[in-house]
Amino acid sequence: MVTISTTDDLLRALSENPDWKAAVRREILTEELINLPARFDQFVAKTEQFMAKTDQFIVKTEQFIVEQRQFNKDQIQFNATASGFMTRTDRAIERLRGDISNMKGTHARNATASEATSIAFDMGFRSVRTLTQNDLLEMHVAADTSGIGLNELRSFRRADLVIEAADDDGNTHYIAMEVSYTADVRDTSRAIRNAGYLTRFTGCPAHAAVASIRNDRDIQADIDSGQVYWYELDDREPRPED
């Protein structure tokens, strides 16, 4: 029989008898405390699982970031290539439009020049000839051009059409004409200016005219007043430049 007289005797007895130790533990500790180690082990296991999943998430996130950066680089490169392509395409289209516009303008001026006789007749004159750039150059070289800028003289020589005509009495007249699909203030202003230069350089009366399919409303008053004559182009013909 075990005799317990001291604390040491009790501890030695509990150490030698695990069943006693367990019974004492049950008497002293609550059930929650007794189960705490097992629950802690469960907590640790779940925490380890969570950390493992977190590590996997971090790895996938880092991989996604790397892939996203590469995608962004590829996208930037693609955008730069596409932008360059679009710029070249836009330039090509603009050149093509310019070429088409120039061809239309040239055709319209040629078509209008071929109708010089009709234009002069409709204005009450008889067509004598159409003047070339060289004719206009010689005209202003031989005249007093003081106060007229070089650009204006160059623009005068590049008039779309200048007709030398005669009235019923044989007097010389000039018709300064601008050709456009839609005649606007720029056209009428150039025609009026060129007519003024023709009178200044030759001393003969000159008349401003525009040839177009339609007109900007801002010039209608000049046409209605007779300051500018309008010769209507046939819309079925290839259209001139604006």
Asked if 218 and 131 sit in the same domain, the reply is yes
pLDDT in tens, 75-93: 888 888 877 777 787 777 7
Higher pLDDT, 240 or 41: 41
The CATH number covering residue 180 comes to 3.40.1350.10
Q: Is residue 159 part of a domain?
A: yes
Asked if 226 and 121 sit in the same domain, the reply is yes
Number of domains in the chain: 2
Dig out the tokens for 40 from the structure: 């802690």
Q: Is residue 202 part of a domain?
A: yes
Boundaries of domain holding 41: 7-59
What strands, in cross-sheet order, belong to the sheet with 172-179?
126-130, 161-166, 172-179, 206-212, 228-232
Asked if 34 and 130 sit in the same domain, the reply is no
SS3 of the chain: helix, strand, coil, percent, to 5:
65, 15, 20
Q: Is residue 156 part of a domain?
A: yes
Q: Is residue 184 part of a domain?
A: yes
Q: Is residue 105 part of a domain?
A: no
Q: Is residue 179 part of a domain?
A: yes
Residue 241 DSSP class: P
> Does the pLDDT at position 170 exceed 50?
yes
> Does the pLDDT at position 147 exceed 90?
yes
Q: What is the mean pLDDT of the chain?
A: 84
C-alpha distances in Å from residue 67, one per residue of 57, 64, 77, 149, 190: 15, 5, 15, 65, 63
Q: Is residue 80 part of a domain?
A: no
